[in-house]
Amino acid sequence: MFDTHIHLQLLPQYVKSTGFALVPAVTQKDWHVLVEQFADQPNVWLALGLHPQHVDCWCAEYRHQLQRLLRHPQVVAIGEVGLDAVVEASDDQQEVVLRQQVRLALEVGKPLILHCYKRYGRLLEILQQESADTVGGIVHGFSASVEVAIALQKLGFGIGVGRLILNDKARRLAEAIPQLPAEMLVLETDAPWPQHYGPQNWTTVLAHIVEKIARLRNESEHEVLNYTQCNAQRLLKLLAARVE
């Protein structure tokens, strides 16, 4: 299985057993830590960027650091970056920093790992204005409508299906999943967040997500595992030899 969004630096006990994983940064302090911590892990890839919750510390020096670290071969994406309606940073500040990070992604030719909470309309506008379809990527923790998902697909993005799909109250997502093209879907846990879930066996959680997707789409779990892994590989522009 390929977990496209897991904070493995906080879960060292899972590094050897997680299968394939993409580990995203949240703060600037994560950048060097992730590169050093996972340098010898062939099945772990990294995304470096600044989460919208932390954009107030963005500066020219951080941009320079990120630009340099994005050249590291294990860093395959820029993330997690995006827009969030409930964090303290202003909308304007979030948008400025998002645009700068999208431009870095275009500069180095690497995809984006996007975080979005209740600002999908504005996110789509910025992605279109900044020609983000050139690199595409993954919108993690997707929770919007089918229409938004299709608009994202036209811009080259897949969507991360995570633990929300296991919540019986997430009816809109459950209704959307069967309607979306298989080539859009990837798996994620976002472990260990949010922490109100308590301690989990994350490998088991990922298996439950696969089971739920298969049931909603009337497919076998093997089919879901196969196409979500292929999708992750394609969206993250990974070499086939490394994901087999």
Cite the DSSP H helix spans in 70-119: 91-108
Going by C-alpha positions, the residue among 180, 172, 173, 132 that lies closest to residue 156 is 132
Integer Cα distance of 150 and 153 in angstroms:
5
pLDDT of residue 72: 94
User: Mind listing the domains of the chain with CATH numbers?
Assistant: 2-237 (3.20.20.140)
pLDDT of residue 241: 37
Q: Which whole number is the average pLDDT over 107-113?
A: 97
pLDDT of residue 11: 86
pTM across the whole model: 0.94
pLDDT of residue 198: 52
Going by C-alpha positions, the residue among 169, 223, 224, 206 that lies closest to residue 22 is 206
Integer Cα distance of 144 and 172 in angstroms:
8
Q: Which whole number is the average pLDDT over 185-191?
A: 95
Integer Cα distance of 124 and 103 in angstroms:
15
Share of the chain above pLDDT 90, in %: 84
